[in-house]
Structure 1
Amino acid sequence: MPPRVSSWLTPAAWVAAVTAVLLLVFPVGFPNYDTIYALVWGRELAHGVSPDYGAALPPTPHPLADLLGLLTTPIGDGAITATMIVAYLSLGLIGYLVYRLGSLWFDRWVGAVAAAIVLTRAPFLSNGLRAYVDLPYIALCLGALAIETRRPRAGWPVLALLVPAGLLRPEAWGFAIVYWLWLTFDPRRASNPGSTGRIAGSDPTNRPIGRRFGWELGWRGQRGGRELAWLAILALAGPILWILFDAITTGNPLYSLTGTRETVETLKRQTGPVDLVLYGPRRLGEVLQWPGMVGALGGVVLGFAFLRRRSALGIAAVVLSLAAFALLAAAGLAIIARYTMLAGAVLSIFVAVALLGWRLVEPEHPWRRRWQLFSGLVLAMFIVWLPNQWDLDSQVHTDLSDQGTIERDLTDLVDAGAFEPACGKIAVPNHRAVPRLAFGLKVKPTQIVSASEEGVPTHGYFVAPADKFVIEHYVLDPNDPTRISLQAPPGFTEVAHNDSWKVFSRCGAG
């Protein structure tokens, strides 16, 4: 078998195997609120009209997700299947890339343990199997890290992955810019306090720019000015394309930022510098849980102290991802666990380092025995936590099954012809059902009215939960300020129902 084919076959088989296991254990994934909206907006783009952002509490648009909606428009309802294929593959790819990075930085056992940790964390399973855009974003960023690990300062291949990542999450903009600075400049310690010449240990082509506090900054000489200029354009492509997307579709180049801030304020989510200090570590803890947090901290410290060359890129990635999370939180975006998952994926490698890294130091190393003791402590914590982790993962399965059933019941009403467009707009209890109905009925989201935010029209349809179970399991956001009623407005009569929903109508002008 040709080496090039073999190099792709192994990861493909790995991802396929993980995806197959996920499908067996969690066969009931479905696109979340944000992703269904992306499919609706992509369909509108495919029809040559601007996305309809006028419904109650629309999510932040993500250009690459909307592009997926545009590309899958020709297959109709199959767009949901295509989206879930991307979701399952993204989760499998994250597992493989965490394994690969752990193997490249340390060894295969570290990589295998790290992948097992990631693929059993409830937030990765819950968000991944709901097709959040964060999972393909994380996969792209980890892929960029893998390329940089194999080929230091690889240049455009790394940026080529960070650009699409930057069309899913704005954190990747900063990663691309920092990476370009790394390609361009060479910061090193000066050869001696009085040196004014070449940077110590640097390539002869590197040209010093300045020196301060015993450090010198030089231009890297490996690339010419023209190549660096093209790489700079590539590094800035993410924010430029996103701003252009907002400007073209809304007339406001900062729509995504301002719209997200408004939603954060409406839902009363934690945001800002003070909440960052209070809640930021907790959100990361929701991803790793407390054994993982202890292991990650110890793994980073021990890796930096005794395996510094192996750990350097991983620690830099953790610092950058957490810094990006902090900057966006300070700028007014929400402080939620999902936004810490990239850092959590890389930190899982350092949890594995805490458990197994002692094998990589010399047998006579004075810290080897202490490392083994710490490894035993972290392992004991994971064992004690195992029943809790089982409960968390089981809850993910239960929630996916319950919510998936409720969503399918809503789609069944659409397929059964329960709604006649001429009757009027469709009112739903709150904004959660808006994109699913808009997608199924092939109408603009503003044709679906959120009763709790906008009231119920005098005529048309009202869709009510069949019981309190639907309310408790379909309203995913505990910060939602609305209250849902099971009662239809006066004058509406029931025309259809199933296990999860009841449809009431009042057609005509009265």
Structure 2
Amino acid sequence: MPPAEAAAPTGGRAPSQSALARLAAVPWPALALAALAIATFVGFLLYPTYPNYDSYYSLLWGREILHGHKPSFDGYRTPTEHPLAVAFGAALSLLGRGGDRVMVFCTEASFVVLCAGIYKLARTAFTPLVGLAAAGILCTRFDFPFLAARAYIDIPYLAFVVWAAALELSRPRRGGIVWVLLACAGLLRPEAWLIIGLYFLWMCSGELGPGHPPRERLIRWAKYATWAAIGPFIWVVLDFVVTGDPMFSLNHTSGLAEELGRTKGLAEVPDSMRRFFLNLAKAPVLYAAIAGFLAALWLAPRRVIMPGVLWLIGTGTFVLVGIAGLSVIDRYLLVPTLMVMVFAAFVLGGWTILRPGMLVRRIWAVAAVAVIAYGVLFTATKVNFHNFDSELTLRGNSHRSLVELLDRPDVKAAIARKCGPVSTPNHKLVPDTRWIANGSASEVVARADPDQKARVAKGGVSIFVVDRGALLRQALVADTDDPLDNVPLPGYTKVASTGYYAAYVNC
């Protein structure tokens, strides 16, 4: 609350005004951040989850590099590699099996950093209360903490982008740390290349004045260009060294998107965008964001620029991804969804930009409380907390069940005899199995892979999913998945089973 409101004017109102001053002096943002950090750590302990499909491959590829092998980027339905994630995976693979849980911990810590970043951005653009409201909205959009609990790289990527924007907004043309953050973002997701390209133009435009000699200007531009090129350069070089194709990531991603049915025509992009925004932000936040944007544009148009630009870049990138024939999934709209939260937060805290004592300020504050009450009611009645709990529980329990199966003496003995590859129904369980069994790309395969069917038929160790929930998430995930790939082949004998999986051997 502004000091003008906290001050006590005269006699009878002094006690209440003094109480308000003491309330305003409490470091609410720091307390909220500490509470979030504690809650996140408690959640990490209560829900021992494990990395998702893509992140496990980052660990595997990092381990391959440390062992002196080229990473298996071109395996069956492997995800797109992300250089910084692979480097991080290499470091964590030194910890052995426990590296996967450390990856989850670091990603959940990144979520706390992201919340602090969205607070900083919204506070700098508008007011501290808007910042707190934006961070609060983010914490209640459960898709985001769920991504963190599954170690998706999107969370650290968002943290890099948001903090870069917040720091740049607090001091325009800052350079330095902003370049570092954007370069890291560009090594996690190629969408950041558009952001860093625009930042390059923004920084170069600051050198056009008469006070900058041509030689000095060119030196600075060359430095900016170097920073901007880090992401694309390392990505292309890594692809070329490993696969011989400098455009491997682009070609592989578009091919995999088409195979999995994730491509959309340009005509379908607007409807997909609408659905994804509603799923990620939820209807009340989306509608509040529209109202908040219009109000901010009317009351403080210059403050809208940074979150508005990030929203435009994010949605523009989503459209370009659709045009390029790549996977059209909701995670490509995470950056603009964060900006939706910032504008929605302006509805809740934007009244603090008005002068104290204004009637409209008081009315707005009361209306904001009503909106918060509605949001709490909506969340309590519409959000299925049981689904959130069951999803996290299933992910953790199923992974531990797979570890238990692969550690059974009969299964380990069969793998050691090298009678054939360890096989899983499709691609989904391949990285988990490889990580647990310390297997190579040729030693752990998918039965859905046409190139591996003859090998699997001759012998080996076959893993089957026996739990219904895991079956729908790990064996029958795409329209092209054949249910028979989760049925034992002739000659295979059951040697072990757990609550989620069974192992059959033909040796």
TM-score range, shorter chain: 0.7 to 0.9
**Where in structure 2 are there 5+ consecutive unaligned residues?**
1-26
Which residue pairs with 1:491 in the alignment?
491
Displacement of 1:16:
5.8
1:404 is aligned with what amino acid?
A: G
Deviates more, 1:332-341 or 1:136-145: 332-341
Displacement of 1:304:
1.5
1:282 is aligned with what amino acid?
A: R
Aligned equivalent of 2:124, options 89, 104, 113: 104
Structure with bigger helix share is 2
Alpha-carbon displacement from aligned partner over 1:265-311 (angstroms, at most 9, x marks no partner): 01101434222122112112211010111011211121122112222
Which residue pairs with 1:3 in the alignment?
none
- What is the CA–CA distance in structure 2 between the aligned matches of 1:13 and 1:70, rounded to whole Å? 35
Which residue pairs with 2:191 in the alignment?
171
Displacement of 1:374:
7.2
User: Do residues 24 (structure 1) and 16 (structure 2) align?
Assistant: no
Which residue pairs with 1:157 in the alignment?
177
Q: Specify the SS of the correspondent of 1:77.
A: helix
Which residue pairs with 1:193 in the alignment?
none
Which residue pairs with 2:333 in the alignment?
340
Assess, with a 3 A threshold, how the Cα gap between structure 1 residues 222 and 147 changes in structure 2: closer, same or farther: farther
Confirm or deny: 8 A CA contact 2:29 2:132 kept in the other structure. Answer: no
Which residue pairs with 2:5 in the alignment?
none
- What is the CA–CA distance in structure 2 between the aligned matches of 1:239 and 1:389, rounded to whole Å? 42
Displacement of 1:51:
0.9
Which residue pairs with 2:401 in the alignment?
409
User: Do residues 482 (structure 1) and 481 (structure 2) align?
Assistant: yes
User: Do residues 397 (structure 1) and 417 (structure 2) align?
Assistant: no
Aligned equivalent of 2:321, options 328, 331, 340: 328
Among all aligned residue pairs of Structure 1 and Structure 2, give the percentage whose two residues are the same amino acid: 29
2:38 is aligned with what amino acid?
A: A
Deviates more, 1:442-451 or 1:43-52: 442-451
Assess, with a 3 A threshold, how the Cα gap between structure 1 residues 266 and 101 changes in structure 2: closer, same or farther: same
Confirm or deny: 8 A CA contact 1:15 1:89 kept in the other structure. Answer: no
Assess, with a 3 A threshold, how the Cα gap between structure 1 residues 113 and 473 changes in structure 2: closer, same or farther: same
Q: Specify the SS of the correspondent of 1:432.
A: coil
Deviates more, 1:71-80 or 1:166-175: 71-80
1:297 is aligned with what amino acid?
A: I
1:408 is aligned with what amino acid?
A: R
Alpha-carbon displacement from aligned partner over 1:121-151 (angstroms, at most 9, x marks no partner): 1210221111011111000011101210221
Displacement of 1:369:
8.3
2:73 is aligned with what amino acid?
A: Y
Which residue pairs with 1:442 in the alignment?
438
Which residue pairs with 1:459 in the alignment?
459
Confirm or deny: 8 A CA contact 1:280 1:335 kept in the other structure. Answer: no
* Structure 1 segment 16-415 matched on structure 2, within 5 A: 17-25=35-43, 27-185=47-205, 206=209, 224-362=217-355, 375=368, 378-379=371-372, 381-391=374-384, 393-415=385-407
Confirm or deny: 8 A CA contact 1:138 1:342 kept in the other structure. Answer: yes
- What is the CA–CA distance in structure 1 between the aligned matches of 2:93 and 2:365, rounded to whole Å? 55
Q: Specify the SS of the correspondent of 2:121.
A: helix
Displacement of 1:165:
0.6
Q: Specify the SS of the correspondent of 2:502.
A: strand
Which residue pairs with 2:14 in the alignment?
none
- What is the CA–CA distance in structure 1 between the aligned matches of 2:446 and 2:463, rounded to whole Å? 10
1:299 is aligned with what amino acid?
A: G
Q: Specify the SS of the correspondent of 1:446.
A: coil
Which residue pairs with 1:426 in the alignment?
422
Q: Specify the SS of the correspondent of 1:41.
A: helix
Assess, with a 3 A threshold, how the Cα gap between structure 1 residues 109 and 426 changes in structure 2: closer, same or farther: same
Deviates more, 1:255-264 or 1:453-462: 453-462
**Where in structure 1 are there 5+ consecutive unaligned residues?**
1-8, 187-202, 208-217
Assess, with a 3 A threshold, how the Cα gap between structure 1 residues 376 and 81 changes in structure 2: closer, same or farther: closer
TM-score with structure 2 setting the length: 0.86
Confirm or deny: 8 A CA contact 1:140 1:165 kept in the other structure. Answer: yes
Displacement of 1:49:
1.3
Displacement of 1:225:
2.1
Displacement of 1:45:
0.9
1:405 is aligned with what amino acid?
A: N
Confirm or deny: 8 A CA contact 1:55 1:449 kept in the other structure. Answer: no
Displacement of 1:12:
9.2
Q: Specify the SS of the correspondent of 1:445.
A: coil
Which residue pairs with 1:196 in the alignment?
none
- What is the CA–CA distance in structure 1 between the aligned matches of 2:462 and 2:80, rounded to whole Å? 26
* Structure 1 segment 463-474 matched on structure 2, within 5 A: 463-474=463-474
Assess, with a 3 A threshold, how the Cα gap between structure 1 residues 35 and 41 changes in structure 2: closer, same or farther: same
Which residue pairs with 1:4 in the alignment?
none
Displacement of 1:232:
1.2
Alpha-carbon displacement from aligned partner over 1:144-190 (angstroms, at most 9, x marks no partner): 0121022111123211111111011001111111001011126xxxx
Q: Specify the SS of the correspondent of 2:495.
A: strand
1:51 is aligned with what amino acid?
A: P
Assess, with a 3 A threshold, how the Cα gap between structure 1 residues 152 and 449 changes in structure 2: closer, same or farther: same
Assess, with a 3 A threshold, how the Cα gap between structure 1 residues 369 and 332 changes in structure 2: closer, same or farther: farther
Q: Specify the SS of the correspondent of 1:126.
A: helix
Assess, with a 3 A threshold, how the Cα gap between structure 1 residues 365 and 261 changes in structure 2: closer, same or farther: farther
Q: Specify the SS of the correspondent of 1:340.
A: helix
Confirm or deny: 8 A CA contact 1:175 1:320 kept in the other structure. Answer: yes
Deviates more, 1:176-185 or 1:66-75: 66-75
Displacement of 1:452:
2.6
- What is the CA–CA distance in structure 2 between the aligned matches of 1:224 and 1:11, rounded to whole Å? 41
Displacement of 1:364:
8.5
Deviates more, 1:299-308 or 1:285-294: 299-308
1:407 is aligned with what amino acid?
A: H
Displacement of 1:365:
7.6
Confirm or deny: 8 A CA contact 2:50 2:396 kept in the other structure. Answer: yes
Assess, with a 3 A threshold, how the Cα gap between structure 1 residues 368 and 338 changes in structure 2: closer, same or farther: same
